[in-house]
């Protein structure tokens, strides 16, 4: 099964590529927004996978570490590198500007759910802090909910829960 993304609402539609031949055009109608669009099946496009099903944290780790989104019933494992400053985390949605857009059908994950701030202290050490968005379902750190406007320091291996989605912080080892 292959997936194509609706150009209007970003929803994925699945189809069985083995039923079609190279060069054939397919027309899709999105169930969510009603947008009609077409694709042409080509040899290169069929061999590509839209997402790496098993990404490696070491390959994806940025200068300041990364956040790993655990596989759950709504999606698959995703790894996002962190950058210095604010890293806003939320559900990927057209028009929402965030640094870490998680592809998920989890409606309890807000579009702008929480923030991980990365900065250096006076000694040059990297400090990570977590705060809620504010979100409707709250941000949990190790099963403890963060209060409104609360900011807590987090370290490598911190487990963050956003709705039904779980993240693990992986810091860059220096």
In 3D, which of 113, 34, 27, 29 has the Cα closest to residue 67? 113
For residue 111, with 0-12 CB atoms within 10 Å meaning exposed, 13-18 middle and 19 or more buried, which class applies?
A: middle
More confident site: 86 or 105 = 86
What's the predicted TM-score (pTM) here? Answer: 0.64
Q: Where in the chain is the domain with CATH 2.60.200.20?
A: 57-170
The model's pLDDT over 128-155, given as tens digits with 9 standing for 90+, comes to 999 998 899 999 999 899 998 899 999 9
Given a cut of 90, whether residue 126 has pLDDT beyond it is: yes
Given a cut of 80, whether residue 58 has pLDDT beyond it is: no
Q: Domain spanning 57-170: which CATH class is it, in words?
A: mainly beta
The model's pLDDT over 10-42, given as tens digits with 9 standing for 90+, comes to 888 888 888 888 888 888 898 888 888 888 877
The model's pLDDT over 77-94, given as tens digits with 9 standing for 90+, comes to 889 999 999 999 999 888
Given a cut of 70, whether residue 165 has pLDDT beyond it is: yes
**Around Cβ 83, how many Cβ atoms within 10 Å?**
15
């Amino acid at each position: 099964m292959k997936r194509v993304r609706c150009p209007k609402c970003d929803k994925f539609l699945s189809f069985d590529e083995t039923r079609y031949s190279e060069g054939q055009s397919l027309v899709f109608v999105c169930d969510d927004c009603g947008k009609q669009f077409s694709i042409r099946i080509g040899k290169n496009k069929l061999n590509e996978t839209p997402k790496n099903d098993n990404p490696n944290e070491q390959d994806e780790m940025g200068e300041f570490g990364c956040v790993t989104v655990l596989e759950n019933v709504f999606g698959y494992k995703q790894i996002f590198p962190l950058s210095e400053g604010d890293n806003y985390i939320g559900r990927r949605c057209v028009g929402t500007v965030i640094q870490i857009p998680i592809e998920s059908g989890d409606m309890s994950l807000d579009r702008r759910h929480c923030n991980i701030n990365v900065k250096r202290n006076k000694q040059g050490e990297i400090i990570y802090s977590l705060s809620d968005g504010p979100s409707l379902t709250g941000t949990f750190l190790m099963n403890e909910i963060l209060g409104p406007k609360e900011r807590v320091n987090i370290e490598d291996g911190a487990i963050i829960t956003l709705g039904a989605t779980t993240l693990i912080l992986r810091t860059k080892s220096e």
